[in-house]
Structure formats: structure tokens, C-alpha cells
Chain A
Amino acid sequence: MPEMTRFDVQARIAEIRALAEAARDKKAAYGPDLDLSRFNPAADAQSVESLESLEKQVKEVALGVGIDTKEENRSGTYFQVDRSPIYERVTEMYGGKLEIMSTAQALQLYPELMYEKYYWRAVAPDKDKYTAQVALQPTEGYFIRVLPGQKIEKPIQACLFVSENNISQNVHNVIIMEEGSEATVITGCTIHPKVREGLHAGISEFYVGKGAKLTFTMIHNWAEDFDVRPRTGIVVEEDGTYVNNYVLLKPVKSIQSFPVARLVGARSRAVFNSIVYGLADSYIDIGSESVLEGPGSRSEAVARTVTKDRSIVYSRGRLVGRTNDCKAHLDCRGMVQSEQSTQWAIPDLASEGAPGAELSHEAAISPIAAEEIYYLMSRGVPKDEAVSMITRGFLDLEIPGLPPALKRQIDKALEETAKESM
């Protein structure tokens, strides 16, 4: 990184703290309010020499969220258990192209740069009580930096793992894509099978530099009594591209997430793809916002949601045009498969002083078509299998740029979920 002019780190730390203190009890705009005092602080975990030495159960659940503990076909790994980074590694061929460490380490290594430009700059510490909690009681998180011009062909993987019951994991992640760099990051968030309840609050700040491209895929796999509050901010510069893929196929108590991408650079782009399966009593409130500021900026958000059982799903999408030459589209389709479930599709478009902005949306909620079920049955497919095939097909977004192995894992998870929920 280039030499920085002096920046008053201590003053900024105090400022972040003051902002967070003031927001301690500030309810979030969406989602059920949580009493944060009922969660215990996250405990320490032991570092490991190799991911292969992890307990078998841990490896299995990690695999379920796209984390390959053999690290085959991965350029690097970050693995955190509860509050401790237990493993960080950049594979040899990517040495000098890529940095992976905990955010705390990055703050030590690049204090001025981090505090001035990246840490709490895309997400505000006083946004709500969850950002405040992470600011006041941080429990690590990953820092990934891809150096200028480096194209990292193999995905980088990061696992945020909760191993103890009823703790609050408050991670803060930062990804910096330097000018002209490209990478795919897979983040898997999951828990040990013994964990019933707890909280994952995660701040993610992603900076996509000039002409850089970040494909970020997040797979969530929680438990029926687990609460999740990610807070994500993305800044995309000139000719930069950000692709966000989100997959949630298992029950959760509540999750509320609404990443915001600011497309500040000319011709910058953001794409959001979400696949959500509402099961059991899950309360899921997900969405995305693209703020189009740079001339020629483009955004597209596609969401597919299915609700079963007694689940509640909100699928939001907001497009804000602030420049004349911008174009964005939302496409949210929901399928309701139970009498007790609820779905909301909430598209939201705004043009702020930008008469040339072209913003559009398609939102639909519909049942599974009986005619399609009969069609498959007429080829000899039993009814329950036909329903499961159609549901899988509906959720299959054919996300471009997804590594084939990850695609197979998602397909497998979709298949399992469809089977289990029958």
C-alpha cells in the first residue's frame, strides 16, 4: 500500500466508540428486535495447523457451506471459530498476490489506512444496535486484500463458525480489491451441530477498486433458534464489478440483512442473486440496495424465495438512481407452498435528481403451478418428486461465475432441503 499522510487513528477510534455507544439500543429498521444481553461473549478457540485436523463433524458442516477443508482448488483460507481465527493461509502459488489475515491483524499492520479509508467507512458504527455491538465488542473477522492487477482464479474461502451455544459472534470483515484485481470469495457461515441458539452479527465492508471485480458468494446454514444480523456495505469504483450471491436453504430463527452497494464510479456494476428457502418457523428479511451514483452505472438484483411450513420471508430490493445515465432492474419471484407461511415482495425504486435514470422491477408471488406438476407426473415422476424438482428449478438461478464445485454443493443442498421438507 502507498505511504499515507498521518491520520489521527486514536481520534477516529474514540469517534467510532462514541457513535456505537450512542446506538447501543437503537432498533434496526427491519426484522424482529433482539435482546442482546441474553447472549454470552464468544470464547477463545485453539488454532490448528491444518484444516484436516478439525473434528469430522466440523469439516462436514463446513463443507455444507462451501468450505473445502482439503483446500483443493482454493487460493486461500480463513477459518474462524467463535472469537478466534484458528487458521489463515494463502496457498504458495498466490503468495505476494493476496493477503489473508484477521481484521485485528490488519488494523495493527495498516492502522492509518484502515481507519481512514476502510474500517467502518462503508457501514456506519451507529447504524443500529448490531453494528454498535460489533464496534464495542468485536470478535475478529477476516481481512482479504487482492493486490493491484492480480487475478486470483481459484476461490478464496472464509468460514465463520460458531461452536458454543448461546454466544454472540461479532465479526468484522473487510475485503479490498485493488485496482484491476479479480477474485471470488466464498464465505460459509455455520454452526456446530450441537449449537441451538446464538447470534451472528457480521459487519462486511467491501471495496472494489477501479476495474476490479469481486464475486462474493455467501452460504448460510444456521439452526432453528439462531439469530443472524449481517450488515454489509460495498463501494464500487470506476469500471468495477461486484457480484453478490446469497444462499440460505436451512431453517433459522431470524435473519435480517440488507447489503447496500454504492456504485460511485463511472460504469460500475453490482449484481445481487439470492436463493432463499423459508422453512419451519424461520423469519427471513433479506434484500439489497444499489445506489447508482457513477455515470453509466448498472445494477441487477434477482431473488427467488420459497416459503414452507410457518416461515415468513420478506424479499426487498431498493434501487436509487442519482445520475442521469444509470439503469437498474429488480426481479423478485416468490413461491408460497404452505397455508401457514407468509411472503412479502417489496421492490422500492427512487430517482433522486436524476431524470434520466431507468429503474424497473418485476415482482411476483405465485403458487407452484399444478399444470407443471401433472406434466412431470405424466412422464412417470411421482407427485412429491415432481414438486421437489419444480421447486429446485424455480430456485436454480444459474448464477454465472459460480465455481462448478460450489454449484454442485448448492444443487445438492437444494435437493436435500427439497427432500427433507416433503
Chain B
Amino acid sequence: MTDPAPLLVVEDLHVSVGDREILRGVDLVISEGETHVLLGPNGGGKTTLLNTIVGLPGYRVTQGRILFKGVDLAGLDIDERARMGIGVAFQRPPAVRGIKLRQLIEVAADGRFDEAMLADLVGELSLENMIDRDVNMGFSGGEMKRSEMAQLLAQAPDLTLFDEPESGVDLDNIAVVGAAMTRLLKAERAGMSKRSGLIVTHTGHILEYVNADIGHVLYGGRLACRGNPRDLIDEISRHGYDKCVECAICQR
């Protein structure tokens, strides 16, 4: 078997928000079929990295580049990146008055979805009480994540970025969200290799429900450490991030 092709390549990425430099040379390669985990202290820049890949305004790339499927993303709008195959589950998505979850699922599917698939999705994620409500308006933490998963399953991106998928979610919901993530990441694509993912987690809980291949620690604006995700989490929970960065299990 040949090595899987790289899907996302982040090279020496420097990102500023306002006049503060948050990312200071991030290097990351995610290949087709791989799921990576991004750990790191609060305020370390995990969300900044995700939002920069997504293309949200306000995240200024001052150095380095991001390649997706070999294409430099610089200058591409959020929607263009989405249509190239990048999807994101936001940590706290905004409520949109007058737009129903159903509508968002439909636009995300972009015609690839029929009534039967929608019905399956509603059943799988228990969306019965949400599907015809304004999206995220008064949704609980768990409902919000289930809604994000539904939109992503409809969108079927090649690379999905998950920003703290377990935050604000009770145990029952984590299991449902985790199952949806697994389906999203492990789905077979006809004639192609599997999908890829990048999961930001602060606690690591979600890894009890989703398999991940490689873990990274974002620290000091860089990916300071790389290894088996579970080993990294054990190490961090025992010694904290400061020590983790220098520890033995790190393969960097």
C-alpha cells in the first residue's frame, strides 16, 4: 500500500488576531483517512487554528501557508473552502432567527440529500424537536452539537474540524455526538480513501467515543508535541502542559 496522500498541509503558519500574534509557526500534515487530535491549554490558539483553516475574517496569516488538496487556501472565501471539502463543527454556533435547522441541513447537503436520508438523520440524532426550529435558538448544549453533526453529515466534508465537541454536553449526548463523528470520519467514499478529521479537545473525553490516530499539543503558538493521543492526555493530566512539552513520549 502506498502512503495516503496529504489532505491538509499547514506550513510555518503565523496568525495574528488584531495586533497579537497567536500562532507562531504551526506545522501540521493530515493525510487522507487520518483523524488528529489537538490538545492544549485554554487560550493557546486551538480555535484560532481551526478558524484560520475555515477562513473566518479577523485571523490574519502573516507568514506560512495552508494547502488543502494541494491548493493554497490564501484568498479563498469561507464558502469556497467549504465547497472544496472543509467542514467545521463550531464550539458555539450562532443562533439565526428565521432559519430552520432543516433549511441549513438542506443547503449543507447541496442537493445530495433526499427525504429518506433526512428522516434517517432526524432519527439518528433525535432532531424531532429541533428540525423545524430556528437554528440554535434556545438550543441546549447537547442540541447544539447534535445540530452541528446533522449539518456536517449532510455536507459530508473530506476534512472535518471539530471545536471542543464535548463541551457543554451531558454523557448521553456525548455518546450520540461521538457516534455521529465516527460515522462522519469513517464513512467510505466510493473509490476514494476515508475522510479526515481534526478534533480540538480540552478534556479528551470525546476520545472515549471516537478513535483518533495522532495527537498534538498546541503550546506557545506552536505544535510543541506529537504522539499517541491517549498517552498525551495521560501525560498532561499527570504533569500538566508545561512538563508535557518536554516529556519522553513526544515523538518530535
Contact = CB atoms under 8 A, between A and B. Distances in A.
A371 B54 contact: no
B201 interface: no
A375 B96 contact: yes
Contacts of A371: 94
B57 interface: yes
Interface string A72-115: 00000000000000000000000000000000000000000000
B97 A393 contact: yes
B88 interface: yes
Nearest to B54: A378
A418 to B, nearest CB: 12
A382 interface: yes
Given A376-B107, A378-B82, A390 B56 contact: no
Interface in A110-145: none
Interface stretch (B35-43, B98-106, B168-176): B98-106
Interface in B66-102: 77-79, 82-83, 87-88, 90, 93-94, 96-99
A393 B102 CA distance: 13
A194 interface: no
A379 B96 CA distance: 14
B110 interface: yes
Query: What is the size category of the interface that chain B forms with chain A?
Result: 20 to 34
Contact of A381 (B79, B93, B98): B79
A411 to B, nearest CB: 11
Given A374-B56, A376-B107, A378-B88, A383 B77 contact: yes
Nearest to A370: B57
A396 to B, nearest CB: 5
B16 to A, nearest CB: 19
B98 A369 contact: no
Interface string B188-227: 0000000000000000000000000000000000000000
Contacts of A413: none
A372 interface: yes
Nearest to B96: A372
Contact of B107 (A379, A383, A392): A379
A382 B97 CA distance: 19
A260 interface: no
A61 interface: no
A370 B57 CA distance: 10
Contacts of B96: 372, 375-376, 390, 393
B52 interface: no
B94 A377 contact: no
Given A374-B56, A375-B90, A389-B103, A380 B110 contact: yes
A390 B151 contact: no
A395 B187 CA distance: 39
Interface in A375-422: 375-383, 386, 389-390, 392-396
A390 B96 CA distance: 7
A376 B104 contact: yes
B155 interface: yes
Interface of A: 369-372, 374-383, 386, 389-390, 392-396
Given A377-B78, A380-B110, A393-B99, 10 more contacts: A369-B94, A374-B78, A376-B99, A378-B87, A379-B87, A380-B79, A389-B99, A389-B103, A393-B134, A394-B98
